[in-house]
Amino acid sequence: MDQKTGESGIGIGIGIGIGTGLGIDRRALVAASVTVALWASAFVSIRASAAHYGPGALALGRLLTASVALGAVLLVKRTPLPPRQAWPGILASGVLWFGLYMVTLNWGEQGVDAGTAAMVVNIGPIVIALLSGWLLKEGFPPMLLAGMGVSFAGAVVVGMSTSKGGGSSLTGVLLCLVAALAYGAGVVSQKPALRHADPIQVTTYGCFVGTACTLPFAGQLLTQLPHAPLSATLNMVYLGLFPTALAFTTWTYALSRTTAGRMGATTYAVPAVVVLIAWFALDEIPGPLTLLGGAICLTGVAVSRRRRRSGVPAGAAVAAAK
């Protein structure tokens, strides 16, 4: 998930967090690792572009770039349209996740600091667990819920450690909350679509839908584009090609091979990876509290896949039945 998520552990944390049935699905592990790394890298690019592009313009530019890249892949592969049964999920995820989430989070972060935004948006995986357990009949494995609680506590610690304190507007908090709800509902919408269409179809057409939803910001983008420095525009292009086109595709691939609840829990690893990227790319040395919060996030991911005494992971029967 881009942005301040838990846009949502690459090593052992994700390895424990992804699985189907009785073992680790290594292809899903690689896909989820790519997603987490790229969504985390989006922090640097968003900071570099946000001062020059408005929330809607940045979302549209990012989605346009991703749509061109993904559309080219479809043409080269001669991929047909998704079947009719997949379209409700594609439309819902396109409107909620690609469209509403990206705009509202960009907008919300203008009124709240990074720590507050991270804490609010990390409600998303909890929304995923609750909605997928209810609507997708994935159940509510106790260890998954416990792990998500631990990870959320870690996200709060990271948020507290990076918060500048004060100045958070109620509007900004509410917008981040809307973004978190849109993110969670968008993920749950994707899962049924993946029963009928492959990951590249679900990602590409969802991106097309999100792009259409953000077209009202075309005037703003055209106005700001000539005045933005080349670095900001290149960062917007990067956001479209990698954290969106590539990372959302690897996300849907991994989601197609596990449950929505477990994928949601895995995105709690994003804040820990952001800390590492900021450390190396921005020379922002994390403090002890930040490192502690990152460790707690990874512990929660591990707890979410802890085995029961019988040796079968919680919820494995549900995963195997999918």
Per-residue pLDDT of 134-178, as tens digits, reads 666 656 667 666 776 776 777 677 666 655 554 456 677 678 778
The phi, psi pair for 23, rounded to 5°, reads -140, -175
User: Greater confidence, 225 or 20?
Assistant: 225
pLDDT of residue 13: 43
The phi, psi pair for 197, rounded to 5°, reads -135, 160
pLDDT at 254 over 90: no
The phi, psi pair for 221, rounded to 5°, reads -65, -45
pLDDT of residue 66: 98
User: Greater confidence, 186 or 180?
Assistant: 186
**Three-state DSSP class for 313?**
strand
pLDDT at 249 over 60: yes
Spacing of C-alpha 207 from chain mean position: 14
pLDDT at 69 over 80: yes
Q: Give CA separation, 282 vs 41, 67, 285, in Å.
A: 11, 29, 9
Within 10 A of 233 (CB to CB), how many other CB atoms are there? Answer: 18
The size of the chain, in residues, is: 322
Is residue 116 very low, low, confident or very high in pLDDT (cuts 50, 70, 90)?
A: low
pLDDT of residue 105: 81
- Average pLDDT value for the chain: 75
pLDDT at 34 over 50: yes
Pick from 20, 6, 32: nearest CA to 297 = 6
**Residue 282, burial from CB neighbour count under 10 angstroms (0-12, 13-18, 19+):** exposed
Q: Give CA separation, 216 vs 40, 120, 219, 281, in Å.
A: 28, 27, 7, 34
User: Greater confidence, 40 or 184?
Assistant: 184
Cα(290)–Cα(205) distance, integer angstroms: 38
